[in-house]
Amino acid sequence: MTVSMRAMSAGDGYRYLIGSVIVGDGPRDRSLPLVAYYAQSGTPAGRWLGSGLSAVGLAEGAEVTEDHLALLLGAGRHPVNGGKLGHAYPRYTTVAERVAARLRQLPAGVARGTADRITAEEAARPTRRAVAGYDLTFSVPKSVSAWWALADDATRRGIVEVHHAAVRDVLALMEREVAATRAGAKGPHGGVLQLDVDGLMAAAFDHWDSRAGDPQLHTHVVVSNKVRTSSDGRWRALDGRPLHAALVALSEHYNALLADGLTGRFGVDWEQRQRGRDRTPAWEIATVPQSLVEAFSQRSRRVDEATDRLVDAHRTQHGTTPGRQTVIRLRQQATLATRPAKQQHSLAALTRAWSARAREVLGFDAAWLSVAPRNGEQSRASAGPMDPRAIHGCALVVLDVVSERRATWTRWNLVAEATRQTMHLRYGSTAEREEAVAAIVASAQRQSLPITPPDLAAVPADLQRADGSSRLRPRHATRYTSRHLLDAEDRLVQRSRSRRTGLQIPPAESGAVAAVAAGLSADQHAAVDQIATSGLQVDLLVGPAGTGKTRTLAILRALWEQHHGPGSVVGLAPSAAAAAVLGEELRIPTDNTAKWLHDHTRNGRRLDSGQLLIIDEASLASTRALDLLTGHAQAVGAKVLMVGDPQQLGPVGAGGVLGLLAGSRADHPRLEQVHRFHHEWEREASLRLRDGNLNAVSAYAEHGRLHEWAPEEVLQRAHDAWRADVDAGMASMLISPSQDQVTALNQLARNHRQVSGEVEAGDAAVLHDGTAAGVGDWVITRRNARRHRTSAGRWIRNGDRWTVTQLHVDGSLTLTGNDPHGGEVTLPASYVAAHVDLGYAITTHRAQGATVDTAHCIIGPSSTRESLYVALTRGRQANHAWIADGRDGSSVLAEVLRRTGQTRSATESLAREQDRWTSTAQLIAEYETIAASAGPTPSAETARALAERRQLLHQQGDQLLRAAIAERQPWLLRIGKPPVDRGRRQQWLTHARTIALHRDRHEITSPEPLGHGPRESVPGAVKARQAARALQDLRRQGTPSTHRPPARESSRGLAW
């Protein structure tokens, strides 16, 4: 993604912008204006962008000063005169401040244990930070940076101008379609009223190079969180949620506009180039050689080569091989030598260095790139408008791609994909491209199934947008799915309820479990018996990490084969390596799911009647795959058993089936007793982690499992701890949710092993991500290759681990498997370059299902509860979290636990959308917002809108009260029995309904009718006081009941 984004904190959060983004890494004289510093360093001063600038007296293109940033981003004040812009940024207390405040309230000599408990409790609470703005970084493709770096001044200036124009046009789209603020009463997700704003205020700063000194033309655009509301002129905060939702689409739009602009101005052609596994291809300028792009993107390899030259020189000079400390010193020297010196940070100096490097790579002068590298004038032609048939066809492709990747989608998902599908077309203007994309998206929306319900009640005209849509709903927030996804999920649910003769073991025979189940825990034994005797077409085995699912399956396999015969159990897993492990552990034939389905579709591969198909890590399987597998099993009379945990990571594509089936069947087989971990506390803590229980955080903190480091240090620290475990003879895993971090960790590990002599210095095979592998390196193969066989007769699997034993002159590698049966194989250079990775660190997705002695996991601000749970449950002896945030580790983990990335099915998403927009909290917030906007004399239209919502809330209250009575909820006993008198009884029902609505709105589960009591400071306190008065009236009518209510007594349809 060539547009990335990070939130910037208020207060001193802007200082990183001044100290790093603006001025690079070097010191500067703070008394100098920024323009003077930029003139000295060669980087231009920041400039203001956005139509919102007129509200503060600034013009687009005006220079940004440090005072501007300190006022607007640091203090949230007027950037010119320091005046107020709405509310000041709130100051939130830190963990240390909250702990100190609570300790001051305790008597002297408080026990250490109490202080520790308070510290843990406060650390588990989220530490909020006021947001000053959003830093969006626009980076041109690598081929454009290479061309720009080597071009003449006029061409370079033209490239920058096109880049700037694309940035401005994306910002304009943000102002039209994304930028908004929130107001009104607080609903489930903040203020329910979305208001338009008078544009955005943004400060843009251009940069020429990466931290490694490679050419990287990019611009930081810092969008202020302060926006002026169009309707009333008040300054409010920018709503960040739409910005996050639209980010990928904005990135694709920037890419397309940049390509259009460069082709229109210079006539360049574009082509797609692969970027490695699991990444979408990138569009690059066709005539810029890939070798040049790679040369400007291989910092680590240049350091390796320079280190090797210094080591060789040391041998020649001293006649001995340098020791470990000497090699470390030489590598540091190489790192400095290959990084452009500080005095070379002017653009002129940088371009001279880049030209010299280009000559070295290409073998000739790259002056031909000074002019546009064009193939011809054909590229200049505009694509023109699309006819309806083409629009419809493109929309079908967009929907096919989007629905393959996700169970539900929004308009922004469609915009992103429509832009990708039209990237090969060149348009003469931004308006033409946006018009084409909008037409495709509109067609795709018409062919999608909306699952977000429409407004349940009338919306007054003054709360509608110009297009008639409701301001009580965020713009472009409608969520869609497809009929075929819902149908597939419905088929899966029906199959999970269907019973068939021949797919069960008679209960009498199931007693044989006892004969083969030695060592099973009670829950494992019950699961085997339940699955064996259910006769269900599709069955489940759900269990948290470490509950012994494999052991349970081994017993089930033995029992099933006793009844159905040898070979009657087969298995599938998400990868070939995982399938091989499953096959070895259960002693059954296995394959990876994608390969089996490929063979089934192409070659007629099939199951046999009576077979049991085990799908391991079923949460990682897509809806389409599970629908096909279970459909085939139903047709031939086989049974499918899905095994996994829906609270771990989900598939890359549309999924969520395991969670859907588990939720639709309350009695599904499950495992609950955790066996994996050596420490009892970790067994309990892992379950709390899985559930998002914040108490888990304090358990890991108390046992020294959380390690906080600055982002620039955390990878090294995690690596060092992992290395210590490996040196101690442990099987240890180094895990990160980010592929870029995995690459960096792999490079760290390789550097360390080179220094220690475990990896030979000298030549190495270049891998697809810019790293290299030589003799002694640990590597992983990443593509199944059945034509390549080891000396043990095994074919190469995705996920197999190896040690490099020989490097050949053509770039091929001889590898020895790291498991006892791996054998030896020589892989050709083409496979090595594309499908071999260093094998020291892995992503969290690849770690799921593995078990080792210890695990070291990188945790960042974007981690989710599911990735955290997977990462911190791999190690038997210990699991460590390395927090790359620079803040208190407990606070970061608490935030992560609140952030779920759980993959949900379309069916579940539909229900959640219905619940969200019909919830008590939403309806009350809408009512309060409409009432507040109407004033003392509402119009007839407004009165109707309020009346309809009152009726909906009345119905909602009746339903809630009925449910409370049917479930005999304890809070009813605290309000007293309903009076016999009809009039007083009606009053009782009204008050009880009010309390039920209040409890539902605030999600109160306490036996006390109002929970811990209303707080006047919270939104909705007026309604809370009404609930409190209702409770007082009820208690005045009689004493609270100490008896269970009678089974039935009706009044207006409410059974008491």
pLDDT at 376 over 50: no
pLDDT of residue 976: 80
How many Cβ atoms sit within 10 Å of the Cβ of residue 659?
A: 21
Q: Are 250 and 419 in contact (CB under 8 A)?
A: no
pLDDT at 111 over 80: no
In 525-627, where do the E strands start and end? 538-542, 569-573, 590-592, 612-615
Confidence bin at 389 (pLDDT 50/70/90):
very high
Question: Which among 562, 578, 563 is positioned nearest to 617, based on CA atoms?
Answer: 578
pLDDT at 31 over 80: no
Does an H or E element contain 226, and which? strand 226-228
Q: Are 407 and 904 in contact (CB under 8 A)?
A: yes
pLDDT at 990 over 50: yes
Does an H or E element contain 658, and which? helix 657-664
How would you write 90-154 as a 3-class SS string?
A: CCCCCHHHHHHHHHHCCCCCCCHHHHHHHHHHHHHCCCCCCEEEEEEEEECCHHHHHHHHHCCHH
Q: Are 259 and 175 in contact (CB under 8 A)?
A: no
Spatial separation of the C-alpha atoms in residues 253 and 417, rounded to whole Å? 10
How many Cβ atoms sit within 10 Å of the Cβ of residue 507?
A: 10
Structure token pair of residue 314: 């040391």
pLDDT of residue 732: 97
What lies within 8 Å, CB to CB, of 1011 at 6+ separation is 999, 1002, 1004
pLDDT of residue 125: 67
Spatial separation of the C-alpha atoms in residues 517 and 123, rounded to whole Å? 44
Segment among 121-125, 556-560, 568-572 with least mean pLDDT: 121-125
Q: Which of 622-626, 651-655, 993-997 tops mean pLDDT?
A: 622-626
**Phi, psi for residue 958 in degrees, rounded to 5:** -60, -45
Segment among 12-26, 37-51, 225-239, 1003-1017 with least mean pLDDT: 12-26
What lies within 8 Å, CB to CB, of 149 at 6+ separation is 215, 296, 350, 351, 354, 355, 358
Q: Are 181 and 238 in contact (CB under 8 A)?
A: yes
Amino acid type, 628: L
Q: Which residues pair with 866 in a beta bridge?
A: none
What lies within 8 Å, CB to CB, of 972 at 6+ separation is 964, 965, 992, 1045
Spatial separation of the C-alpha atoms in residues 19 and 943, rounded to whole Å? 55
Taking only the tens place, the pLDDT of each residue in 146-190 is 999 999 888 999 999 999 999 999 999 999 999 999 999 999 888
Spatial separation of the C-alpha atoms in residues 615 and 571, rounded to whole Å? 6
Residue 723 CA neighbour count, 13 Å, CB half: 16
Taking only the tens place, the pLDDT of each residue in 37-70 is 333 455 688 899 999 999 999 999 999 988 999 9
Structure token pair of residue 929: 């917002």
Segment among 329-343, 834-848, 945-959 with least mean pLDDT: 329-343
pLDDT of residue 109: 67
How many Cβ atoms sit within 10 Å of the Cβ of residue 278?
A: 10
pLDDT at 628 over 90: yes
Taking only the tens place, the pLDDT of each residue in 285-323 is 999 988 888 888 765 555 555 565 566 555 555 555 555
The number of residues making up the chain comes to 1056
CA torsion angle 1018 1021 1027 1028 (round to 10): 90
Confidence bin at 336 (pLDDT 50/70/90):
very low
In 462-604, where do the E strands start and end? 480-481, 538-542, 569-573, 590-592
Taking only the tens place, the pLDDT of each residue in 771-802 is 899 999 999 999 999 899 999 888 998 889 99
Residues 756-781 have a mean pLDDT of 90
Confidence bin at 503 (pLDDT 50/70/90):
confident
Segment among 180-189, 205-214, 410-419, 505-514 with least mean pLDDT: 505-514
Spatial separation of the C-alpha atoms in residues 998 and 1014, rounded to whole Å? 10
pLDDT of residue 929: 95
Question: Which among 756, 761, 739 is positioned nearest to 838, based on CA atoms?
Answer: 739
CA angle 659, 484, 600 (to 5 degrees): 80
Residue whose tokens read 């390395």: 882
pLDDT of residue 1028: 76
Q: Which residues of 928-950 are buried (b: 16+ CB within 10 A; e: fewer)?
A: bbbeebbeeebeeebeebbebbe
- What do you get for the CA distance between the two ends of the chain, in Å? 59
pLDDT of residue 38: 31
Confidence bin at 340 (pLDDT 50/70/90):
very low
Spatial separation of the C-alpha atoms in residues 605 and 593, rounded to whole Å? 12
Map residue 669 onto helix, strand or coil: coil
Cα 525 to Cα 5, 622, 661: the distances in Å are 50, 29, 22
Spatial separation of the C-alpha atoms in residues 254 and 250, rounded to whole Å? 6
pLDDT of residue 291: 85
Top pLDDT among 478 and 28 is at 478
Cα 384 to Cα 101, 432, 545, 669: the distances in Å are 66, 7, 55, 59
Taking only the tens place, the pLDDT of each residue in 514-568 is 556 667 899 999 999 999 999 999 999 999 999 999 999 999 999 999 999 999 9
